[in-house]
Amino acid sequence: MIRVEHLTKRYGDFTAVNDLSFEIEEGHVYGFLGPNGAGKSTTMNIMTGCLSASEGHVRIEGYDIFEEPDRAKKRMGYLPEQPPLYMNETPLEYLKFVGEAKGVKGRELHRQIESVISQTRLEDVKDRLISNLSKGYRQRVGIAQALLGNPGVIILDEPTVGLDPIQIIEIRDLIKQLGQEHTVILSSHILSEVQTICEKVLIIDKGKLVAFDKPENLEKLLMASNAVSFIAEAENDEIKEVLEEIEAVADWQMKKQENGSVRVDVKIESGEASDVCRHIFFAFAKREKALLELTSKKANLEDVFLELTESGVDKASVDKDGKTDKPDTEPTENNDVEWMERQVDNR
Ligand X SMILES: Nc1ncnc2c1ncn2[C@@H]1O[C@H](COP(=O)(O)OP(=O)(O)OP(=O)(O)O)[C@@H](O)[C@H]1O
Binding site for ligand X (CB under 6 A): 11, 14, 16, 34, 36-42, 189
- Tell the smallest beta-carbon distance from residue 286 to ligand X (Å): 53
Contact present, 202 and 210 (Cβ < 8 Å): no
Between residues 39 and 215, which has the closer beta carbon with respect to ligand X? 39
* Whole-Å CA distances, 203 to 31, 40, 58, 176, 185: 8, 9, 18, 20, 13
Contact, 161 vs 83, CB < 8 A?
no
Residue among 40 and 74 whose Cβ is closer to ligand X: 40
Task: Quote the least distance from Cβ 266 to ligand X, whole Å.
Answer: 37
Does residue 152 contact residue 1 with C-beta atoms inside 8 Å?
yes
Instruction: Tell me the closest approach of the beta carbon of residue 15 to ligand X, in angstroms.
Output: 9
36 or 253: CB nearest ligand X: 36
Task: Name the residue nearer to ligand X (CB basis): 36 or 118.
Answer: 36
- The answer for residues whose C-beta is within 8 angstroms of residue 21's C-beta and 6 or more apart is 4, 5, 6, 7, 56, 209
**End-to-end C-alpha distance for the chain, whole angstroms:** 40
41 versus 261: smaller Cβ distance to ligand X: 41
Min. distance of Cβ 319 from ligand X in angstroms? 16
CB nearer to ligand X: pick between 104 and 337: 337
What is residue 83's three-state secondary structure? coil
Q: Please report how close the Cβ of residue 300 comes to ligand X at its closest, in angstroms.
A: 21
Identify whether the C-beta of residue 329 lies closer than 8 Å to the C-beta of residue 35: yes
Smallest distance from ligand X to CB 179, Å: 21
**Please, are residues 1 and 62 in contact by the beta-carbon 8 Å criterion?**
no
* 28, 200 contact by CB (below 8 A): yes
